[in-house]
Structure 1
Amino acid sequence: MNAINDRPSPEALLQDAQRAARGRLKVFLGASPGVGKTYDMLRAARAAKMRGVDVVVAWVETHGRAETEAQLEGLEKLPSREMKYRGQTFAELDLDALIARRPALALIDELAHTNVPGSRHIKRWQDVEDVLAAGIDVLTTLNVQHLESLNDVIERITGVRVRETLPDTVLERADEIELIDLPPDELIQRLDAGKIYRDEQARRARERYFQPGNLTALRELAMRAAADRVDQQMLEHMRRHRVAGPWPTRDRLLVCVGSRGNGRSLIRATARLADTRGVEWIAVHVIDAQAHALSDTDKDRISDTLRLAESLGGDAVTIPGQDIAREVLAYARTRNVTQIVVGQQRARRYPWRPRLLTRLLRESHQFEVTVIPDAVGEPAPQPVRPWSGWSMGTRRDYALAIGLPLAATAIGAVFDALLRLDHFAVLYLLAVLICAVRAGPRPAIAASFIAAGCFNFFFTDPRYSLSVTRHQDLITLLVFLVVAIVMGRLGGQLRSQMNALRKTARRNANLNEFARRVAGALSRDEVATATVQHVRVTLEAPCVAVLSEPNEQLSPVHRCAIGPDYQFRESDRAAAAWSWQHRQPAGYSTQTLPTSEWLFVPMVTTQRVVGLLGLHLRERGRPLSAGQRRLLDAVSDQAAVALERVVLSARIEDQRVEHQSDALRSALLSSVSHDLRTPLSSILGAATSLQTQHDRLSDDGRAELVDMIVEEAERLNRFVQNLLDMTRLGHGRLELRRHWCDLRELLGRAQRRLQRSLLGRTVSIDVSADMPMAFVDPMLIEQVLVNLLDNACKYSPSGSAVDIALAVHDDVLQLQIRDRGSGIPATDRERIFDMFFRVRSQDHAAPGTGLGLAICRGILRAHGGDIEAQAPLQGSGSVFLMSLPKAHRAAPTICDPRD
């Protein structure tokens, strides 16, 4: 057993293995700016360089201090990275260059610095994590006011809200901390001499931040932070090497919280003792095998005692174990406790067992044990009997206690008649054990006496009589009875433990299901619904979730086991508002507004309160136990993270949509500015030539210029029409004015509009003999045909043919247009219908906005049809197949498409 305890802690060995592949982090911790952190860091780097270490200054901010800049001489400095933000250029740490350089030691100043937007990470400490992961040792600097946990404290002390903070875990993971300290008077002298800040900045700092009282308080905070980290490192060393301890380097108290008696006075006395000595203290409760037998009153008393310990500044811990004294001593060694506090014990649970105090005094040679007597006037705890807390059992349980011994008697009688066996005690022991496991200890003890009577009556001489004639039979019966009672008690404990394991397994399964549901939730309502349902099932109390700050009204977004007509009282609303504002539980069973029937627990992230969980504990009848309270805290924390994730996801999605909208707007403006300027320039040039050189131009020249003006105006008109159509399609405001029209007539009008573009090309039209009329919006369908023919002219050589085919297939009107161009790549045949997408496989891009085909698809789908790009069956080129549903009408009426 001692050999096992002497082995190193597996968790410590795992931490060592993980640290072996990482670089070492040393933090120069200061109480305030100007104490000399950067100066001492550079001195340490110069000393390392003299030892032959490869040192690189990755980032150091000297703030213009001459003595600090002098320490940079002789050290290799990594060039900084230039970052542009809002029209200004900033210098930042070049993380990629540092990792590529891979020095043995890197100097990175100002660990809490916020990087310029566009950097890989938001904070510099995240850059340092990457450097450490690359196996590079790092020296860095940090002021105590940048620790997240001290942010509110620093603001109360100095009146200044520090914006740049980092998690405390960053400092906890540091391999070494060196405290840099200066007396307040000397630091103020440095400020007045201009060695920290200059001019106006120094004056403001002197008036607000650099006050003697402020600096003294900051020094104490820095010393405590360094001491806490050093103490943690010592505990890790002791666990790593399995040092029995304790090492009395720092006092720490541990108070034992029992299951009975008045532990509140013990907690108060320990808190006073710890406050007087200025040390940490821990309240420990050991959950043994008898914990299940405790009454609800005792369980509530333990929970209240542990909550009182937390409210008075101590840590509350519950640990499982059978031997209370051994578990307490083992935990005290792991936490390096120096003093154990116990209460006076007036009664013992088992008289034959030594008291806890006796065990502690006998076995705790390294600890100081302090006994606190009960307060005057407090009632003494009642002695605990071995059967205290055992369930009386139901009628079914006692029926089982009677039936199992009788069944064993019947089976024994059969064996006795067939095999003439003499010993049947094992059958009765088995019956008692089954009864204990299925019904509990009390029915099992009853079954023990019934089994003993049956065994004596049916199988001992003289049979069928309760008298005993032989001494050995009497001894056998007594031993049987004792063994049966012990087996019944042990079986009952096994049953209780099995029930506890089943309950724990159900709770874990519910918690896993809750984690899965909130992880997959896409909205705040889904997270709130999953949370209240899980809390209702797990804690068996009506629950509500509040996702907005309660002011005069308390409006839960989700209710579980609470009707919609339930009216919250004024005390309930006040408790919810206080809990939201102060980020602390309030209401029933708390010290704040306890008259409320509800307990409100805030769901808090690192930045803000995102909601409240409310439990109707007055209806439940008793407060939450310590384990249930921890479970509720875990659920509220997980729900808060899920709610924050949903909010951030929505924010990211909004930013993504906004980014896409900006990109779309930029593409549209770029396209409009280019593609609309070209025809306007042509029209302006031709019109200017007609105006200034009208008399010198021939008739053919003037006609050519007029034709150019008309052609470019039509081209400009098509661009504008496409933009208008796309706008109407995007806003769902495209109104169809359907008429019965002949597609051949619409095709002819489209050809006339593109007469100059089609000049020199052969256009062949193949129309099916049974081609019917189409019930469409003639202006829009004509625009579709114009866009398709214009697209064929743009992407096919001059003089090539364009083939058009009209046919009917299965009540669908189909129009196919094929050109003789270079074709469309297979990967782009679907993308070409996206806005602003244009195929770039040609040597130069054809003019256009990239909206024509997207408009074609939008118009056709508004008619119930569609369009697709196909590969030609033979030869080269592109094939567009548009389809429209065939409509049926009572009487054909042909319209003029110009209407």
Structure 2
Amino acid sequence: MSHGELRVYLGAAPGVGKTYRMLEEGRRRMDRGTDVVVGLVETHGRPQTAAMIGDLPVVPRATVDYRGARFAELDLDALLARRPDVVLVDELAHTNVPGSRNVKRWQDIQELLAAGSTVITTLNIQHLESINDVVTEITGVPQRETVPDAIVRRADQIELVDQTPEALRRRMAHGNIYGPDMVDAALANYFRVGNLTALRELALLWLADKVDDQLDRYRAEHRISQPWETRERVVVALTGGSEGATLIRRAARIAARTKGADLLAVHVSRNDGLAGGAADPANLVRQRTLIEDLGGTYHQVVGNDVPTALLDFARGVNATQLVLGASRRSRFAQILSRGVGVTTTAASGAIDVHLVTHERVHGGQGGTTSTGALSGRRRLFGFALAVVGLPLLTVGLTQFRAELTLTSDILLYLAGVVVVALVGGLYPALTAAVLGSLLVNFFFTPPFHTLTISQRQNMLALAVFLAMAVAVSVTVDTAARRTREAAAARAEAETLFTLSGSVLRGSHAVRELLDQLRETYRLRSVSLLERRPDVPDSPDVQHDRQAWSVAATVGGQPCLTPGEADADIVVDDDISLVLRGQPLAAADRRVVQAFAAQTALALREQRLAEQAAAAGSMAEVDRLRTALLSAVSHDLRTPLASAMAAVDGLRSPGFALSAEDRAELVDTIAESLDRLHRLVDNLLDMSRLQAGALAMRPQPMSIAEATAAALDELGAPGRPVPVRIPDDIPEVRADPVLVERILANLLRNALRYSPADRPPQLAVSEHAGYVEARVIDHGPGIPASKWDTVFLPFQRLGDRDNDTGVGLGLALSRGLAEAMHGTLDPDHTPGGGLTMILRLPVVELPVGGAEQQPADAALRRVDDWRRVHRDDVEAAGRPHGEAS
């Protein structure tokens, strides 16, 4: 079965005409004989849209029951059974009613596509997950329904339905989008010209990225390597030298001339071991930070041929311009080799190449100077072997002059030169080659004991011998040099690998880096120093302790200034890495510079993380303060207003109040003051609990006694609470007043959210050393994902219609329970609803005697409460089979 195609009509805002265009496309396809059906279309009361449906076949919607209401959703099963060629489905980001087959409508559409049907759908830009927060910041209206970008990007076709902000506002003013009662509010808020312009630009930019992806795929599939100048892309080549910042800023200015141009930086690392140390890791780190600050991206590629690698990268990203630095090599070196800039320009083709001058032009290649591959002792031994060994070989060969030919003698001398090259390297081998050729000429080439050569073939043999000896010497020395470079590179790689592993495993990146550096090079101490911004420059700043502060240090006594260190690595103008213990070898500076650069980055990231954490804490404090002020202002104002109104009514001299009216006003005042009293108590207890200053008096107590007290506090509610407490329930160790507060809060919440015909219940049992008090309601419940959220201060119970209280009840109740070594956890009620479970530890007490009397008295109080409200309790519990 072939997979269906997905076509999306994308709009910047509601009302641009997405649904209309979708229906137009459906009618065109139906007129061509395609089997088209309307799966779901939302007309939103727009007559033109409804008229466009016309005679299109419509699949009736499925009905879903949720919380006593009926909702119409896409009938996925009917569509899968019918299997039309094309299905029109409106509003891709829609969230289905709970109880539907899928959570989101785009999941329904994926099933239709998998069944082979083509789906045409609509989407507004604000519903894309990646820019949902941006739209919220622009419009101030959060969009709760979103669709992952990947779903839309996989669409076979995306068509932008566009209208200018002015045209869209005219449609709104004419009543073509919303009803007359909503026009003014929409035009003044969401449909402002600025909002619509920003949304339109977001839609165009997102679609442009989608088009770029399609273009890249097309170029890759058709193997097109030549740049297509669809968008300016400026690539700047970095060598790791100090001129990189100049090149980056010049490239950024070039990119800024064209709106929407991309800026990319690339560094080519050679993989043939001939980099020569010219790339400074610290420079590259600083330049990467700079390019990212300017809105660009940093890339690193590997290649032996730098011009080829640069052009391959530039063509791969469809670059239009390439920025290079002018050559740093001397004029004599440029005569011998054209250099990277000239070579790249000659082969660039359609890519424009900019050669930018800088302060290092013609200043030499820089980098480290190559040293001999072998130690001085081995070279000295090689010279001794050449000076002593070859004469000894000559003495031996003269004894067998009659048996050996000149060819054999030359081969033996060549073997001697190879041995000297293996032992001492290039220069001893060259010495041996010259000395060997002279000895062969003097002792074994006629006429003997002279440097004259009488035969041409002997002259050719000696010339070939000398050339082969030199070639072998150079080859052996080069191989030794490469071996040493490879060993050094391997050591560096192992060091950096260990470094990265220690950083990844550690929670303190800066100290891990410094400690790894200290262990690797066996140093006494390693410190990262920061230059104080308030200290001016001076000639003795390197030794001025007032000018530096220690950002991090490991090891023994730290260096307090760069001047006190055995080695100093300057990261930038403000940060230096100082080492104490031994001087740093020149060959090790590259790795240490990499350590220094990464340590500086880790320090900056650590500071940013600390600032982010501080900002997060401040934001949380601000959020709590805002929530507190909002909630308390509302919940203080409401009972205060009621009480003041009732007092004003009692004090009004012009009105004669009956006894019933006066009693009603007094009851209003009492009720309002009771609400204020509970609010203030909760706030004070919450603050004491968070400060650890809440006074508790834990003692053996009966849960039945606390239950009776909580029921007394609730009074005689209109919907009595069925209570089940076994007679043999053990006592718990807790504060009776606090347990009563917890149960009263839980019962008050349960009564608020329970349906009228299903009152909450309280059931007490013992399990695993704990007494469990379960407050059970059959209300709307809370999703499991929000169970932790409802225990945060100033949080309302999700989408349960709570319009009173500051959201402290559950937070305070859990805090009180945990302070008494108990727990308070939510659970689902079978059949729907929420169950709050209070667990308190059991106290083992002897049965009978005085200890049993409080529990018996409490149970009698509960029984008395049952008898008073027995009829109501039984009536409330009987329809659902609940035992009272």
TM normalised by structure 2 equals 0.52
Give the CA deviation at 1:227.
Answer: 1.9
**In the TM superposition, what whole-angstrom CA distance separates every residue of 1:730-776 from its partner, at most 9, and x where no partner exists?**
23589xxxxxxxxxxxxxxxxxxxxxxxxxxxxxxxxxxxxxxxxxx
User: Could you tell me which of 712, 731, 735 is aligned with 2:769?
Assistant: 731
Tell me if the contact between 2:227 and 2:318 (Cα under 8 Å) persists in the aligned partners: yes
**In structure 2, what is the Cα distance between the partners aligned to 1:334 and 1:315?**
15
Moved more, 403-412 or 149-158: 403-412
Counterpart residue identity of residue 32, structure 2: R
| Corresponding position of 2:598 | 624
**In structure 2, what is the Cα distance between the partners aligned to 1:57 and 1:432?**
90
| Corresponding position of 1:481 | 470
Q: Aligned with 2:212: secondary structure?
A: helix
User: Could you tell me which of 183, 192, 195 is aligned with 2:173?
Assistant: 192
Q: Aligned with 1:157: secondary structure?
A: helix
| Corresponding position of 1:452 | 430
Give the CA deviation at 1:37.
Answer: 1.0
**In structure 2, what is the Cα distance between the partners aligned to 1:320 and 1:454?**
40
**In structure 1, what is the Cα distance between the partners aligned to 2:310 and 2:106?**
39
Quickly say closer, same or farther: Cα 1:413–1:45, change in 2 above 3 A: farther
Tell me if the contact between 1:402 and 1:447 (Cα under 8 Å) persists in the aligned partners: no
Tell me if the contact between 1:261 and 1:381 (Cα under 8 Å) persists in the aligned partners: no
Tell me if the contact between 2:417 and 2:432 (Cα under 8 Å) persists in the aligned partners: no
RMSD: 5.4
Q: Aligned with 2:172: secondary structure?
A: helix
2:299 counterpart of 1:317: yes
Quickly say closer, same or farther: Cα 1:297–1:288, change in 2 above 3 A: closer
Q: Aligned with 1:277: secondary structure?
A: coil
Tell me if the contact between 2:175 and 2:183 (Cα under 8 Å) persists in the aligned partners: yes
Moved more, 213-222 or 294-303: 294-303
Quickly say closer, same or farther: Cα 1:499–1:78, change in 2 above 3 A: farther
**In the TM superposition, what whole-angstrom CA distance separates every residue of 1:242-289 from its partner, at most 9, and x where no partner exists?**
012212233222222233351212211211121121122222221124
Tell me if the contact between 1:24 and 1:132 (Cα under 8 Å) persists in the aligned partners: yes
**In structure 2, what is the Cα distance between the partners aligned to 1:618 and 1:361?**
35
Quickly say closer, same or farther: Cα 1:241–1:267, change in 2 above 3 A: same
User: Could you tell me which of 384, 389, 392 is aligned with 2:368?
Assistant: 389
| Corresponding position of 2:411 | 423
| Corresponding position of 1:813 | none
Quickly say closer, same or farther: Cα 1:511–1:197, change in 2 above 3 A: farther
Quickly say closer, same or farther: Cα 1:718–1:728, change in 2 above 3 A: closer
Tell me if the contact between 1:452 and 1:477 (Cα under 8 Å) persists in the aligned partners: no
**In structure 1, what is the Cα distance between the partners aligned to 2:765 and 2:160?**
65
**In structure 2, what is the Cα distance between the partners aligned to 1:188 and 1:301?**
53
Give the CA deviation at 1:178.
Answer: 0.8
**In structure 2, what is the Cα distance between the partners aligned to 1:202 and 1:620?**
62
Give the CA deviation at 1:158.
Answer: 2.5
Unaligned runs of 5+ in 1: 1-19, 436-445, 516-526, 544-559, 567-587, 598-616, 641-716, 735-858, 860-899
Give the CA deviation at 1:238.
Answer: 0.5
Tell me if the contact between 1:310 and 1:316 (Cα under 8 Å) persists in the aligned partners: yes
| Corresponding position of 1:217 | 198
Give the CA deviation at 1:188.
Answer: 0.6
2:139 counterpart of 1:158: yes
**In the TM superposition, what whole-angstrom CA distance separates every residue of 1:121-149 from its partner, at most 9, and x where no partner exists?**
55444444454445443322222223334
Give the CA deviation at 1:48.
Answer: 2.4
Moved more, 145-154 or 38-47: 145-154
Moved more, 75-84 or 213-222: 75-84
| Corresponding position of 1:795 | none
2:308 counterpart of 1:308: no
Give the CA deviation at 1:535.
Answer: 7.8
**In structure 1, what is the Cα distance between the partners aligned to 2:422 and 2:52?**
81
Quickly say closer, same or farther: Cα 1:181–1:490, change in 2 above 3 A: farther
User: Could you tell me which of 219, 229, 239 is aligned with 2:210?
Assistant: 229
Quickly say closer, same or farther: Cα 1:625–1:179, change in 2 above 3 A: farther
TM normalised by structure 1 equals 0.51
User: Could you tell me which of 316, 322, 346 is aligned with 1:362?
Assistant: 346
Counterpart residue identity of residue 307, structure 2: A
Quickly say closer, same or farther: Cα 1:347–1:212, change in 2 above 3 A: same
Q: Aligned with 2:230: secondary structure?
A: coil
Give the CA deviation at 1:205.
Answer: 1.9
**In structure 1, what is the Cα distance between the partners aligned to 2:113 and 2:303?**
40
Tell me if the contact between 1:32 and 1:143 (Cα under 8 Å) persists in the aligned partners: yes
Moved more, 48-57 or 305-314: 48-57
Spell out the pairing of 1:637-656 with structure 2 (5 A cutoff).
none
**In structure 1, what is the Cα distance between the partners aligned to 2:497 and 2:119?**
41
**In the TM superposition, what whole-angstrom CA distance separates every residue of 1:507-546 from its partner, at most 9, and x where no partner exists?**
789989999xxxxxxxxxxx97699999889999999xxx
Quickly say closer, same or farther: Cα 1:187–1:536, change in 2 above 3 A: farther
**In structure 2, what is the Cα distance between the partners aligned to 1:52 and 1:340?**
53
Tell me if the contact between 1:461 and 1:468 (Cα under 8 Å) persists in the aligned partners: no
Counterpart residue identity of residue 251, structure 1: E
Moved more, 197-206 or 111-120: 111-120
**In the TM superposition, what whole-angstrom CA distance separates every residue of 1:18-61 from its partner, at most 9, and x where no partner exists?**
xx964433221111111011111221222223333333433332
Give percent identity, aligned residues only.
33
| Corresponding position of 1:276 | 257
Quickly say closer, same or farther: Cα 1:68–1:731, change in 2 above 3 A: farther
Spell out the pairing of 1:604-753 with structure 2 (5 A cutoff).
622-624=596-598, 727-731=765-769
| Corresponding position of 2:336 | 352
Tell me if the contact between 2:66 and 2:97 (Cα under 8 Å) persists in the aligned partners: yes
**In structure 2, what is the Cα distance between the partners aligned to 1:205 and 1:433?**
88
Spell out the pairing of 1:255-270 with structure 2 (5 A cutoff).
255-270=236-251
**In the TM superposition, what whole-angstrom CA distance separates every residue of 1:647-677 from its partner, at most 9, and x where no partner exists?**
xxxxxxxxxxxxxxxxxxxxxxxxxxxxxxx
2:140 counterpart of 1:140: no
Q: Aligned with 2:280: secondary structure?
A: helix
User: Could you tell me which of 9, 14, 23 is aligned with 1:42?
Assistant: 23
**In structure 1, what is the Cα distance between the partners aligned to 2:488 and 2:592?**
27
**In structure 2, what is the Cα distance between the partners aligned to 1:294 and 1:514?**
28
Q: Aligned with 1:423: secondary structure?
A: helix
Quickly say closer, same or farther: Cα 1:448–1:619, change in 2 above 3 A: closer
Moved more, 534-543 or 276-285: 534-543
2:88 counterpart of 1:107: yes
Quickly say closer, same or farther: Cα 1:258–1:625, change in 2 above 3 A: farther
2:234 counterpart of 1:253: yes
Q: Aligned with 2:304: secondary structure?
A: coil
Give the CA deviation at 1:450.
Answer: 2.2
**In structure 1, what is the Cα distance between the partners aligned to 2:68 and 2:241?**
70
Tell me if the contact between 1:432 and 1:487 (Cα under 8 Å) persists in the aligned partners: no
Quickly say closer, same or farther: Cα 1:253–1:721, change in 2 above 3 A: same
**In the TM superposition, what whole-angstrom CA distance separates every residue of 1:566-620 from its partner, at most 9, and x where no partner exists?**
9xxxxxxxxxxxxxxxxxxxxx9899xx7899xxxxxxxxxxxxxxxxxxx9998
**In structure 1, what is the Cα distance between the partners aligned to 2:2 and 2:512?**
41
Quickly say closer, same or farther: Cα 1:733–1:152, change in 2 above 3 A: closer
**In the TM superposition, what whole-angstrom CA distance separates every residue of 1:149-207 from its partner, at most 9, and x where no partner exists?**
43343344333333333443334333322111112121011112222222444332211
Counterpart residue identity of residue 296, structure 2: G
**In structure 2, what is the Cα distance between the partners aligned to 1:280 and 1:165?**
28
Quickly say closer, same or farther: Cα 1:497–1:281, change in 2 above 3 A: farther
User: Could you tell me which of 298, 318, 321 is aligned with 1:339?
Assistant: 321
Spell out the pairing of 1:506-517 with structure 2 (5 A cutoff).
none
Counterpart residue identity of residue 189, structure 1: R
| Corresponding position of 2:810 | none
User: Could you tell me which of 356, 363, 382 is aligned with 1:372?
Assistant: 356
**In structure 1, what is the Cα distance between the partners aligned to 2:280 and 2:66?**
63
Q: Aligned with 2:88: secondary structure?
A: strand
Moved more, 339-348 or 493-502: 493-502
